[in-house]
């Protein structure tokens, strides 16, 4: 279906304004299978705004986003992407298992079963715990499990390392490495430098995109 | 998974959440019972007056109880990021929203349906009007959830949306109130009520078709 020579995600001349302040303009990039895009920039430089535009929550002031050659809104984009933002996106009154089952119902079933995913993020045995009994880091791991149980190619992660311990950081990096090795794509913002030797990391520094 | 699975999953999730937050859930129902029981105390021992006012009292109380419960519809989803995940689902947001509204009606409208006949009896509503009261509640309480959903979706992003929500939603509730309480009133005096019930049914069908789209558009705006 899609042409391997053409990158699936193409963004052209994107610009974003917030309260009359230009965050970035004429931002163009493309992301190919197996690539990671790291967004850098100081606080308030528009990293989260860019991610929210890529999620379709926000409209860009100018520019277009193409997925597999089609405009984002007409394509299969939303079936192919997954997002982990500042908020967990899980209900605190539900158990870990109930939350994941619901997440799966909203998307397509992915590579891993719920049990396998929980094991991967080191949450196995917590199936029947209410989310409100988990720590912030464990909630973050649960959000990551959501990426594994649904079928997706593009991960959009907003500050995935927040509230994770050293092990958790290593865990995300290995999950990302595995995803990318299987032809997946990752876009993330982080103040933490990626320590893995990814050879295909693109970096965009938003402070310089005016 | 398929759209049907997602639709039922969201209903199931919201019912489960309602069950886990039972105390919050009982609030509107308690409010409804309290308002109706306070009326006879305030009006005094005037059975004829109470009987005449019964349809209006029950309907006004039901409407305010519905308004009280509305804010829960999208608020917690908005705050914990679940709403963002709903928007990212490849499924139609309108259908998912309809599932949420249906779940909301099941936990707020349905209990009113069960308690209202009891309260009507308490106010001395004639037996002849009881069936009509039920019918109007069945037709009109889903409408309260549906119409309210648009208002909540528009105001969920605001910090103090409560006042604006009432201002937005109450005028839209007025036609429902007029036809529903009028039907019960007429039934109490033995007059035919087919016209009122037909209008309520038409309004319900219209709301079912027209509400999900603007609600999902408003939710997208609120998340922005």
Overall average pLDDT of the A168-195 stretch:
85
Residue-wise burial string across A27-64, b where 16 or more C-beta atoms lie within 10 A, e elsewhere? bebebbbbbbbbbbbeeebbbbbbbbbbbbbbebeebe
Which residues span the domain enclosing A155? 34-45+79-208
Query: Cβ–Cβ of B80/A88 closer than 8 Å?
Result: yes
Within a domain: A100: yes
Alpha-carbon gap: A195 to the closest alpha carbon of chain B (Å): 29
Q: Is residue A73 part of a domain?
A: no
Residue A63 falls within a domain, yes or no?
no
Return the pLDDT at B98.
95
Q: What is the pLDDT along chain B (224 residues), one digit of tens a residue?
A: 788 999 999 999 999 999 998 888 888 899 999 999 998 899 888 888 988 888 999 999 999 999 988 888 898 899 888 999 999 888 889 999 999 999 999 999 999 999 999 999 888 888 888 999 999 999 999 999 999 999 999 999 888 878 889 999 999 999 999 999 999 999 988 899 999 999 999 999 999 999 999 999 999 988 88
A41 conformational bin, left if phi > 0, alpha if psi -120 to 50, beta if neither: left
Q: Could you read off the pLDDT of A50-93 as tens digits, one per residue?
A: 888 988 888 888 888 888 888 888 888 888 889 998 888 888 88
What confidence score (pLDDT) does residue A210 get?
61
Mutate to test the interface with A, among B79, B85, B100 (most CBs of A within 10 A): B85
The whole-angstrom separation of Cα B173 and Cα A44 is 43
Which residues lie below 8 Å from residue B99, measured CB to CB, with a gap of 6+?
Answer: B6, B7, B8, B10, B11, B14
Which residue stretches of A1-135 are H helix?
A: 47-54, 77-80, 96-106, 114-120
pLDDT value, residue A4:
55
Percent of chain A with pLDDT over 70: 94
Residue A11 lies in a domain: no
CB pairs A-B closer than 8 Å: 80
**A101 contacts in B (CB within 8 Å)?**
9
Percent of chain A scoring above 90 in pLDDT: 5
Q: What is the pLDDT of residues A84-136, one digit of tens each?
A: 988 888 888 899 999 999 998 888 888 888 888 888 888 888 888 888 898 88
User: Considering its fold, how many domains does chain B have in total?
Assistant: 1
Closest residue, chain B, to A97 (C-alpha): B13
Put simply, whether B146 touches A (Cβ < 8 Å) is no
Can you point out the beta strands (E) in chain A? 9-18, 21-31, 36-40, 62-67, 70-71, 81-84, 154-158, 185-189, 201-205
Could you tell me if residue A17 is inside a domain?
A: no
CATH of the domain at A91: 3.40.50.300
Say how many domains are in chain A: 1
Closest CA to A175 of A121, A122, A135: A121
| Interface of chain A toward chain B, CB-CB under 8 angstroms | 52, 55-59, 76, 78-79, 81-83, 85-94, 98, 101-109
């Amino acid at each position: 279906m899609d042409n391997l020579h053409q990158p699936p995600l193409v963004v052209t001349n994107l610009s974003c304004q917030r309260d009359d302040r230009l965050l970035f303009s004429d931002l163009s990039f493309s992301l190919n299978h197996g690539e990671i895009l790291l967004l850098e920039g100081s606080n308030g430089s528009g990293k989260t705004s860019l991610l929210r535009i890529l999620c379709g929550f926000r409209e860009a002031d100018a520019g277009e986003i193409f997925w597999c050659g089609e405009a984002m809104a007409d394509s299969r984009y939303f079936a192919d992407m997954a997002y982990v933002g500042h908020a967990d996106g899980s209900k605190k009154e539900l158990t870990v298992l109930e939350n994941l089952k619901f997440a799966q119902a909203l998307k397509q079933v992915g590579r891993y079963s719920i049990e396998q995913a929980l094991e991967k993020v080191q949450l196995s045995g917590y199936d029947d715990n209410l989310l409100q009994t988990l720590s912030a880091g464990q909630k973050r791991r649960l959000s990551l499990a959501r990426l594994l149980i649904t079928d997706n190619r593009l991960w959009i992660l907003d500050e995935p390392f927040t509230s994770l311990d050293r092990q958790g950081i290593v865990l995300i990096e290995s999950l990302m490495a595995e995803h990318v090795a299987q032809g997946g794509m990752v876009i993330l913002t982080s103040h933490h430098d990626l320590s893995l030797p990814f050879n295909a990391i693109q970096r965009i520094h938003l402070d310089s995109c005016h | 998974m398929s759209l049907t699975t997602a639709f039922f999953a969201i209903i199931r999730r919201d019912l489960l959440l309602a069950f886990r937050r039972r105390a919050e859930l009982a609030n509107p129902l308690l409010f409804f019972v309290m308002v109706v029981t306070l009326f006879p105390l305030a009006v005094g021992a005037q059975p004829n007056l109470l009987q005449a006012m019964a349809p209006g009292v029950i309907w006004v109380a039901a409407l305010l109880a519905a308004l009280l419960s509305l804010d829960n519809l999208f608020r917690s989803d908005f705050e914990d990021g679940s709403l963002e995940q709903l928007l990212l689902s490849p499924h139609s947001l309108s259908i998912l929203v309809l599932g949420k509204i249906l779940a909301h009606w099941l936990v707020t409208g349905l209990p009113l349906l069960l308690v209202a006949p009891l309260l009507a009896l308490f106010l001395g509503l004639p037996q002849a009007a009881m069936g009509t009261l039920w019918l109007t509640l069945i037709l009109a309480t889903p409408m309260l959830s549906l119409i309210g959903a648009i208002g909540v979706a528009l105001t969920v992003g605001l910090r103090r949306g409560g006042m604006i929500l009432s201002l937005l939603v109450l005028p839209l509730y007025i036609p429902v109130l007029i036809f529903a309480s009028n039907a019960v009133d007429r039934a109490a005096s033995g007059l035919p009520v087919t016209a009122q019930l037909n209008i309520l049914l038409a309004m319900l069908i219209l709301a079912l078709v027209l509400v999900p789209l603007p609600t999902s558009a408003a939710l997208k705006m609120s998340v922005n």
